Chains A and B, each alone.
Chain A
Amino acid sequence: MPLRVRLTLWYGTALAVILIVFGSALYAVLARGFRDQVDRSLEETAAVAVRALEQHRVGPFLPFDDLAAEFPELAVLDKSFQIFSPAGKVTIQSPNLGRLDIPLSRTALETALSGRATFESARFRDGSSFRLLSAPIILDGALVNIIQVGTSLRPVEEMLQRLLLVLLVSLPAALAAALGGGWFLAGRALRPVESITLAARRIAAGDLTQRLTVAHSPDEIGRLSATFNDMIARLEASFRQVRQFSADASHELRTPLTVMKGETELALRRARPAEDYKLVLESNLEEIDRMVRIVDELLFLSRADLGEVRIESLPVRLDALVEDMQRQAAVLGQEQDVQVAVGAVASVTVQGDELRLRELLLNLVDNAVKYSRPGGKVELTLVRDGTTARLSVTDQGIGITAEAQTHIFDRFYRADEARAHAPKGTGLGLSICKWIVEAHHGRIEVQSTVGQGSKFTVALPIMS
C-alpha cells in the first residue's frame, strides 16, 4: 500500500476514534447534566411545596384551587404535582396533569413511609416520559401526605436528540474533510520523496555524478537529501578510488608482463648465443619476482580491507625490535654502501603484533636504504613522549616533494623521482606500513626536503 494511502488511513482512523470518543463523552456529559438539572429543580419544587404544606398544616383533603389560592407560588410552577394520602390515594392533583393518570409506585410509597424521597422515571403510553419525585410530608412525626412532583422530560429529550443529530451529521463530515486534507498534505509532503526516488533510480543506473536537486531546506526532506547527496559523493569518491586502484594494479602488472613478453619474443626471433638466453631468463626471473611481490602485497591489502588480517595483541618490546632490525638493516645497507645506525633508544613496550611491527620497520628501513645515495646514512631512533612511543627512520636520500608527500601512502603511488631511483618498487610498501600502524592505533608521518632526505615517524601508544 502506498505510503500516502497508509498515512491518510492512519490519520483518518486516529481522528475517527478521537471524534467518536469526544462525541460520546459530550453526549453523555450533557445528558447527565440535563437530568441532574431536572432532578435539582424537582427537588427545589418539592422542598417549597413540602415546606408550605407543613407550615400550613394542610389536611389530607384540599382542592387544588384552594391550594393554589393559598400558595400562589405553586400555580406558577411548570411542574405538575399530586398529593397522595398515606394510603397511596390521590387527594389533590394539579390541573396541568390533564388526563394523565400517574399512580404512586409501591417503591415510592414504601420509601415515603420510611421518611425519605424517591426519584423515578416513568414513560406513558403516548410516549411522553416523566421524571417524578415523591416526598413525604411529615407532621408531628406522622406521615400525613405524600407529595409527588413531576415534570416532562420531553424538552430534555428533544435537546439530546438534536445534539445527537448534530453529532451524527457533523462528525462524519469533519472526518471526510480531514481525510481529504490529510490526503492532500501527505501527497505534498511526499512529493520530494518521489523526486528523491527518481534521482536515486538514475544514480542506481550507474550515473554517480547525479545529485538530488531538492532545495536545501532545514526540514527532514532537506536533511535527507543532503545526507543522500553526501552518501553519493562518498560512493562516487570510493568508486573512483576503486577504478583508479584497479587501473593502477593492472598497469603495474602489465609492465612486467610487457617486459617478459617482449624480451622473450625478441630472443626467439633468431638463434642467439647461450649467454643472450641466460640474460633474458635472468631478466624474466626478476620480473616474475616483481609480480609475485605485487600480488602478495595486493592480496595482503585486500585481506586487510576485508578485516581478514589478524593482529595479535601482545606486549612487544620496541627497543629490542629496533636493535634486532639494525643487524638486518646493516646487511641491506652494505649492498648499497649505506650506513645504518641506531641513535637514542628508549625502553618502551607497546601492545601489538610483533611480526607486523617487524615488517613495518623493515619496510621503512628498506625504503630509507633504497632511496639513499651511496655513502649516505640511515638512522633509527626510538623515544618515549609521554604515553607515545616515537619510532623514526631518517635518511639522507633523494627526499620527497611536498606534492608527493600527500600521496606516498596511497596505493601504487610512486613519485617520478622514486620510479627513476628504484625501478623495482611496487608502490604498495608504504600503504602496508600505514595499515599496520593504524591497526596498532598509531599514526605515521613524513617530513622531507628534496635532495636532503626524509624522516618517517611512527607514533604508537605505549602499553600502560
Chain B
Amino acid sequence: MRILVVEDEVKVASFIRRALEEESYAVDVCGDGAKGLDLAQAGCYDLIVLDLMLPGMPGLEVLKALRKEQIAAPVLILTARSELDQKVKGLDAGADDYLTKPFAIEELLARARALLRRGSGEAGGVLQVDDLALNPATREVTRSGKRIELTAKEYALLEYLMRNAGRVLTRPMIAEHVWDHDFDTFTNVIDVYVNYLRNKIDRGQARKLIQTVRGSGYTLKAE
C-alpha cells in the first residue's frame, strides 16, 4: 500500500513516515502543496495524508483539485485547527476523514487502515481469501487457522495482493504500491519476494493461492 504524506512540518512528516513504514506501507513525503498535487496526480496512491496549512498551495485547494481530476484515493486531512468549520470544509471538499493535531499515532494508523479497507471493499477489517486471512490491525496472517510469520516486506506484498485478490497485478504495479519510489529498476526483487511468500503460504498446501500470470505478473485468488 502506497501512501502520500503532504506535510510541511519536517519533523511531523518524518514521524508519520516512520510510523507508516513500520506498518510496511510505502510512503512518499512532500512538504509543498503544489508539489504534493503533482505527486498525487502522477502516482497511484492508496491513501493521501494531507495537512491543511501548506506552503505553495493550501491543503483545501489541493484536495479540490484532486477531486476535480477524479483522483479517488481516500484522503485523510490533518489540521492544527480544531474548529468545526475547517473539518466541515475539508470533508465537503472530498476528504474522507480528518485528524486534529496533536493526534495519537495509533489513531492515525487505525484511520489509515480503515480508509484503505474502504478502498478494497472489505468490511470486517480482516482480509480473507479462501482459508488465508490477514488482519491489518494486528498484522496477523493465518492459513487454516495456523499462524504464519512474515517479514515487513512480505507482509506488505501479501496485503497488496489480498486487497486486490482476483486482479492481475503487474510488476510495476506491485513496485509502485509496495516499494519506495527510488526502487523501479530491480523488478526481479519482486519475483524473489513472491517466492518467499509462496514458500510460507502455499508450500504444502493443496490449493495454491499465488499464481503467476505469464507475461504480465501475479495474482492471488482462490481457485
Does the CB pair A423–B10 fall under 8 Å?
yes
Given B12, B83, B105, which contacts A255 in the complex, CB threshold below 8 Å?
B12
Q: How many of chain B's residues touch chain A, expressed as a range?
A: 20 to 34
Least CB distance, B9 to chain A, in whole angstroms: 6
Does the CB pair A258–B9 fall under 8 Å?
yes
B102 within 8 A of A: yes
Per-residue contact bits, chain A 415-428, to B (CB 8 Å; 1 contact, 0 not): 01001100100000
A57 within 8 A of B: no
A200-208, A232-240, A260-268, A348-356: which one contacts chain B? A260-268
B interface, by DSSP: helix, strand, loop or mixed? Answer: loop
The distance in angstroms between the C-alpha atoms of A425 and B114, with both chains bound, is 36
Residue of B nearest to A252 (CB): B80
Does the CB pair A254–B104 fall under 8 Å?
no
B15 within 8 A of A: yes
Residue of B nearest to A423 (CB): B10
Does the CB pair B53–A262 fall under 8 Å?
no
Residue of A nearest to B99 (CB): A258
Does the CB pair B105–A251 fall under 8 Å?
no
**What residues on B are CB-neighbors of A177 within 8 Å?**
none
B182 within 8 A of A: no
Residue of A nearest to B7 (CB): A258
* Known A250-B80, A266-B19; contact A258-B105, beta-carbon cutoff 8 A: no
Per-residue contact bits, chain B 89-123, to A (CB 8 Å; 1 contact, 0 not): 00000000000011111100000000000000000
Q: Taking each of B10, B15, B55, B81, which has the highest tally of chain A beta carbons within 10 Å of its own beta carbon?
A: B15
The distance in angstroms between the C-alpha atoms of A269 and B80, with both chains bound, is 24
Given B18, B22, B56, B80, which contacts A254 in the complex, CB threshold below 8 Å?
B80
Per-residue contact bits, chain A 269-288, to B (CB 8 Å; 1 contact, 0 not): 11000000000000100010
A247 within 8 A of B: yes
**What residues on A are CB-neighbors of B31 within 8 Å?**
420
The distance in angstroms between the C-alpha atoms of A265 and B104, with both chains bound, is 7
Does the CB pair B105–A262 fall under 8 Å?
yes
Does the CB pair A254–B15 fall under 8 Å?
no
* Known A265-B106, A416-B55, A416-B56; contact A258-B12, beta-carbon cutoff 8 A: yes
**What residues on A are CB-neighbors of B18 within 8 Å?**
266
A259 within 8 A of B: yes
Per-residue contact bits, chain B 184-205, to A (CB 8 Å; 1 contact, 0 not): 0000000000000000000000
The distance in angstroms between the C-alpha atoms of A419 and B11, with both chains bound, is 13
Does the CB pair A251–B53 fall under 8 Å?
yes
Does the CB pair B12–A265 fall under 8 Å?
no
**What residues on A are CB-neighbors of B8 within 8 Å?**
419-420
* Known A254-B80, A419-B8; contact A263-B15, beta-carbon cutoff 8 A: yes
**What residues on B are CB-neighbors of A261 within 8 Å?**
102-105
Does the CB pair B81–A420 fall under 8 Å?
no
A257 within 8 A of B: yes
The distance in angstroms between the C-alpha atoms of A270 and B106, with both chains bound, is 13
**What residues on A are CB-neighbors of B81 within 8 Å?**
247, 250-251
Per-residue contact bits, chain B 16-27, to A (CB 8 Å; 1 contact, 0 not): 101100100000
**What residues on B are CB-neighbors of A257 within 8 Å?**
101-102
**What residues on B are CB-neighbors of A263 within 8 Å?**
11, 15
Given B10, B16, B55, which contacts A262 in the complex, CB threshold below 8 Å?
B16
* Known A416-B56, A419-B55; contact A262-B102, beta-carbon cutoff 8 A: yes
Per-residue contact bits, chain A 193-224, to B (CB 8 Å; 1 contact, 0 not): 00000000000000000000000000000000
The distance in angstroms between the C-alpha atoms of A261 and B16, with both chains bound, is 11
Given A251, A255, A262, which contacts B15 in the complex, CB threshold below 8 Å?
A262
* Known A247-B81, A266-B18, A416-B55; contact A259-B9, beta-carbon cutoff 8 A: yes
The distance in angstroms between the C-alpha atoms of A266 and B22, with both chains bound, is 10
**What residues on B are CB-neighbors of A419 within 8 Å?**
8, 55
**What residues on A are CB-neighbors of B104 within 8 Å?**
261, 265
The distance in angstroms between the C-alpha atoms of A202 and B16, with both chains bound, is 47
**What residues on A are CB-neighbors of B80 within 8 Å?**
250-251, 254-255, 258
Least CB distance, A264 to chain B, in whole angstroms: 9
Does the CB pair B105–A259 fall under 8 Å?
no
The distance in angstroms between the C-alpha atoms of A434 and B117, with both chains bound, is 53
The distance in angstroms between the C-alpha atoms of A420 and B103, with both chains bound, is 23
Q: Pick the 5 closest A-B CB pairs, nearest first.
A: A416-B55, A258-B102, A258-B101, A265-B105, A262-B15
A residues with a Cβ closer than 8 A to B are 247, 250-251, 254-255, 257-263, 265-266, 269-270, 283, 287, 416, 419-420, 423
B residues with a Cβ closer than 8 A to A are 8-12, 15-16, 18-19, 22, 31, 53, 55-56, 80-81, 83, 101-106
A-B contact pairs, 6 of them (CB 8 A): A254-B102, A258-B101, A262-B102, A269-B22, A416-B56, A420-B8
New contact pairs (12) apart from A247-B83, A269-B19, CB-CB < 8 Å: A247-B81, A250-B80, A250-B81, A254-B101, A254-B102, A255-B9, A255-B80, A258-B12, A259-B12, A262-B103, A420-B55, A423-B9
